[in-house]
């Protein structure tokens, strides 16, 4: 089935500027079309329009045409669209029915509505469970799963429908690196089966599978080309985005288009690279390291002793975890979906209580303290902002915590203003948070905790759904907390973000800590097998550096190119890509 989008224009009620301005795109059977752009560029709007949600569910003025095998998607009856086009949202909370007791029954829900025969239904469900690597979750309750596990279930719930066209909006946002690779492989298989796939995504593993890549900026088309060309620095930097690390390195090494995502070819090209200037560092204006805190905070550490926690159904999420985090440390917790990261983090402010073991904040056991009291010391930013936001205006949301601390009104005003500035939302104070997109709601939730300036800041997947500038802002806040002696503990699947901003990395697997070391040790080539067993891989630049035989671990493309330039300037031999 061919999906054709012709001169599509979308304008939401009350908005002066259109969300999409004359977008045209064709997705043929057997092809994957990717969409990239900054937050607010129109990616989600395009996905919603492609499957008929705009204007049917999300009201908007629409012109142009969205055609699915001769059927006008924006006006066709839902009964005609069901079974032909399916959409996967970025947040599983928007996808799962919340009414089914098991994953298997969740996957059956759509098929039951289509009247699929039981025998065929069972086969489709088994294949989807296997494709997404979630067969072991088949009898688990969907709402009891981790965010990443729920996202895999959400993707599977649409795969089983067998639609000719599949639309995905940031499907890997909550997945670990292995999960992201698995989804990329599934999309490749679906295209090979003759499906038409439209996917809005940041992950290079997915972008590499696309036949074409549409770049959007403020609702307008910037480029439509093969990923190797559409994602180049000359296209993305003018609109405030950085190319994926592999694309940057491929450009520097003059790699042909068909080798843009080939790490072995990039390493070979860099191995003979001479006289190249490293890519420019990020603009200082985009960093938020120079922050002036308005409240004094005594440094607090965290101590955890033999922590154990099980969920209903005898699922043992934590198995005797013990660790000490010193005051002022900046620590990342990584691991595959379902490894116990969020469960561990929720014990730090009392949202979960252990079956056994102890958590101490600032040397004091928190078992007898209320969550509202612990929140004065430990600020927690949820993975899903919709679990955290409830006020009708952004400024009320961000000021809620400081007001509960009974601070002076003028100080509250300054804290709110400062927090919104840190996350790049100055001017959005009167906006309803739910009029903002998912990634901006994430930043509102972050600002609501930052405004309290807690001694300990706990972040659960803070970069999910963020574009490059958003990720840099989050990284600047992490850096600022650390430089003032405050403690940061962050869960993340973004290994490049972890390598850039954290000096200690804890790796979890099946409810246990399996590694606790600086990032240069965690991401060393010698630990590749251990990381793979946890669903993780080193950042792209570190993997290329390992192929080049470098002993220093670079966090990103800029660091790697600078290392190579410094080596040549010192008269060192040019490394050859003869490893791995």
Q: What is the pLDDT of residues 181-203, one digit of tens each?
A: 989 999 999 999 999 999 999 99
**At residue 568, does pLDDT exceed 80?**
no
Task: Give pLDDT, residue 349.
Answer: 95
Do the strands 487-491 and 330-335 form a parallel or antiparallel pair, or are they unpaired?
Answer: parallel
Q: What is the mean pLDDT of residues 515-540?
A: 94
Start-end of H helices in 210-337: 227-230, 233-236, 245-252, 263-271
Q: What is the mean pLDDT of residues 354-364?
A: 96
Pick from 310, 313, 334, 320: which is nearest to 137 by CA?
Answer: 313
Question: Residue 551: how many CA atoms within 13 Å on its side-chain side?
Answer: 1
**If residue 3 lies in a helix (H) or strand (E), which one and from where to where?**
strand 3-11
**If residue 222 lies in a helix (H) or strand (E), which one and from where to where?**
strand 220-225
**At residue 298, does pLDDT exceed 70?**
yes
Tell me the percentage of the chain whose pLDDT exceeds 70: 94
Q: What is the pTM of this model?
A: 0.89
Confidence of residue 296 (pLDDT cuts 50, 70, 90): confident
As a whole number of angstroms, the distance between CA 114 and CA 93 comes to 22
**At residue 99, does pLDDT exceed 80?**
yes
As a whole number of angstroms, the distance between CA 47 and CA 527 comes to 39
Is residue 163 within 8 Å of residue 85, measured between CB atoms? yes
Is residue 563 within 8 Å of residue 545, measured between CB atoms? yes
**If residue 349 lies in a helix (H) or strand (E), which one and from where to where?**
none
Give the max Cα distance, the chain: 71
Is residue 69 within 8 Å of residue 77, measured between CB atoms? no
Tell me the percentage of the chain whose pLDDT exceeds 90: 76
Whole-Å CA distances, 527 to 489, 506, 517, 519: 22, 13, 11, 11
Task: Give pLDDT, residue 284.
Answer: 40
**At residue 577, does pLDDT exceed 90?**
no
> Average model confidence (pLDDT) for the chain?
91
Quick one: how far is CA 283 from the chain centroid?
23
As a whole number of angstroms, the distance between CA 458 and CA 375 comes to 11
Higher pLDDT among residues 573 and 55, named by residue: 55
Cα Rg of the chain (Å, integer): 24
Q: What is the mean pLDDT of residues 284-288?
A: 43
* Two structure tokens written together for 32: 């994957």
Task: Give pLDDT, residue 573.
Answer: 53
**At residue 571, does pLDDT exceed 90?**
no
Q: What is the mean pLDDT of residues 308-336?
A: 92
Q: What is the mean pLDDT of residues 27-45?
A: 95
Q: What is the mean pLDDT of residues 259-270?
A: 93
Pick from 450, 495, 487, 489: which is nearest to 471 by CA?
Answer: 495
Q: What is the pLDDT of residues 388-410, one digit of tens each?
A: 999 999 999 999 999 999 999 99
**At residue 283, does pLDDT exceed 80?**
no
Q: What is the pLDDT of residues 412-458, one digit of tens each?
A: 999 999 999 999 999 999 999 998 888 999 999 999 999 999 999 99
* Two structure tokens written together for 98: 């919340």
As a whole number of angstroms, the distance between CA 376 and CA 340 comes to 25
Token pair 């490894």: residue: 339
Q: Is the link from the previous residue into 125 a cis peptide, with omega within 30 of 0?
A: no
Rounded to 10 deg, the angle between the 394-404 and 409-422 helix axes is: 130
As a whole number of angstroms, the distance between CA 66 and CA 69 comes to 10
Task: Give pLDDT, residue 77.
Answer: 85
Task: Give pLDDT, residue 343.
Answer: 95
């Amino acid at each position: 089935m061919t999906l054709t989008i012709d001169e599509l224009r979308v304008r939401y009620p009350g908005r002066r500027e259109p969300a999409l301005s004359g977008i045209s795109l064709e997705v043929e059977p057997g092809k994957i079309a990717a969409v990239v752009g900054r937050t607010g560029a129109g990616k989600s709007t395009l996905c919603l329009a492609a499957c008929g949600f705009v204007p049917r569910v999300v009201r908007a003025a629409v012109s142009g045409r969205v055609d699915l095998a001769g059927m006008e998607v924006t006006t066709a009856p839902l009964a005609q669209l069901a079974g032909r086009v399916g959409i996967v949202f970025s947040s599983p909370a928007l996808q799962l029915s919340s009414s089914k007791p098991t994953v298997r029954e969740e996957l059956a829900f759509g098929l039951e509505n289509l009247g699929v025969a039981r025998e065929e239904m069972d086969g489709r469900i088994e294949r989807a469970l296997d494709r997404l690597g979630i067969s072991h979750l088949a009898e688990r309750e969907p709402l009891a799963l981790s965010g990443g596990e729920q996202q895999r279930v959400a993707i599977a719930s649409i795969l089983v429908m067998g639609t000719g066209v599949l639309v995905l909006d940031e499907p890997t946002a909550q997945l670990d690196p292995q999960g992201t690779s698995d989804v990329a492989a599934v999309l490749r298989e679906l295209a090979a089966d003759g499906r038409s796939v439209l996917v809005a995504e940041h992950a290079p593993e997915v972008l590499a599978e696309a036949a074409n890549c549409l770049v959007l900026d403020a609702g307008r088309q910037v480029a439509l080309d093969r990923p190797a060309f559409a994602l180049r620095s000359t296209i993305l930097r003018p609109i405030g985005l950085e190319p994926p690390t592999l694309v940057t390195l491929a450009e520097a090494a003059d790699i042909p288009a068909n080798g843009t995502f080939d790490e072995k070819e990039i390493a070979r090209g860099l191995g003979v690279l001479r006289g190249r200037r490293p890519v420019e560092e990020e603009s200082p204006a985009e960093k938020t390291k120079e922050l002036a805190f308005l409240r004094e905070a005594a440094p607090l550490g965290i101590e955890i002793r033999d922590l154990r926690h099980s969920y209903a159904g005898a699922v043992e999420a934590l198995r005797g975890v013990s660790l000490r985090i010193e005051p002022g440390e900046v620590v990342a917790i990584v691991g595959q979906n379902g490894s116990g990261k969020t469960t561990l983090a929720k014990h730090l402010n009392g949202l979960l209580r252990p079956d056994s073991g102890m958590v101490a904040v600032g040397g004091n056991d928190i078992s007898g303290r209320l969550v509202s009291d612990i929140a004065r010391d430990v600020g927690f930013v949820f993975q899903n902002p919709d679990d955290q936001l409830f006020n009708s205006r952004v400024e009320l949301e961000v000021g809620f915590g400081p007001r509960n601390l009974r601070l002076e009104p003028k100080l509250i005003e300054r804290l709110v203003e400062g927090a919104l500035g840190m996350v790049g939302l100055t001017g959005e104070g009167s906006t309803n948070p739910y009029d903002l997109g998912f990634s901006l709601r994430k930043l509102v939730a972050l600002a609501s905790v930052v405004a309290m300036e807690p001694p300990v800041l706990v972040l659960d997947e803070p970069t999910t759904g963020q574009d490059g500038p958003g990720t840099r802002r989050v990284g600047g806040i992490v850096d600022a907390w650390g430089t003032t002696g405050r403690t940061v503990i962050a869960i993340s699947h973004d290994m490049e973000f972890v390598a850039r901003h954290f000096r200690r990395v804890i790796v979890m697997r099946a409810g246990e800590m399996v590694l606790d070391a600086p990032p240069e040790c965690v991401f060393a080539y010698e630990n590749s097998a251990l990381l793979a067993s946890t669903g993780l891989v080193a950042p792209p630049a570190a993997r290329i550096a390992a192929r080049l035989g470098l002993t220093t671990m670079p966090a990103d493309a800029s660091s790697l190119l600078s290392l190579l330039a410094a080596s040549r300037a010192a008269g060192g031999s040019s490394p050859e890509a003869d490893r791995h």
